[in-house]
Amino acid sequence: MAYSEKVIDHYENPRNVGGFDKNDPSIATGMVGAPACGDVMKLQLKISDDGIIEDAKFKTYGCGSAIASSSLITEWVKGKSLDEAASIKNTDIAEELALPPVKIHCSILAEDAIKAAIDDYKQKKNLA
């Protein structure tokens, strides 16, 4: 199977790898796993008081497509409101990275990670 150039670029030069202190009230943490393969993705968002995502970091234990998907979303969510970030679809990610059908679940993991992080933030702020 051939990986697209964008996948290879994000895999070899992942953007925003790392993490923030999850106890910081401005940090949202989303941790999700893919039952299909056992891969795990952790996405953390730094959110301003007016609800804008100022920064994002990820750690992913998984395949190249999962790493590329998480690297891509850390770039996409920056500067977005929570609602805008929540509207990112796995199909947008798969299309941008030209993922083949067997790797679609890797992009779903990334979409789920965004939603999980936003849920975590709302719970922290008692907005849920």
Q: Which residues are catalytic?
A: 37, 106
Is 106 an interacting residue with respect to ligand FES (CB under 6 A)?
yes
For ligand FES, the binding residues in 58-77 under the rule CB under 6 A are 62-63, 65-66
CB of 66 to ligand FES, least distance (A): 4
CB of 95 to ligand FES, least distance (A): 16
For ligand FES, the binding residues in 23-42 under the rule CB under 6 A are 34, 37, 39
Q: Can you name the residues that pair with 97 across neighbouring β-strands?
A: none
Please give the sequence-ordered ranges of beta strands (E in DSSP) within 13-109, or none if there are none: 27-33, 40-47, 53-61
CB of 106 to ligand FES, least distance (A): 3
Nearer to ligand FES by Cβ, of 65 and 71: the residue is 65
CB of 123 to ligand FES, least distance (A): 25
Is 110 an interacting residue with respect to ligand FES (CB under 6 A)?
no
* Measured distance CA(61)–CA(9) in Å, rounded: 17
- Please name the residues in contact with 89: beta carbons below 8 A apart, sequence gap of 6 or more: 111
Tell me the three state secondary structure of residue 63: coil
Closest CA to 30 of 15, 14, 46: 46
* Measured distance CA(1)–CA(112) in Å, rounded: 25
* Site residues (vs ligand FES, CB under 6 A): 34, 37, 39, 62-63, 65-66, 103, 105-106, 109
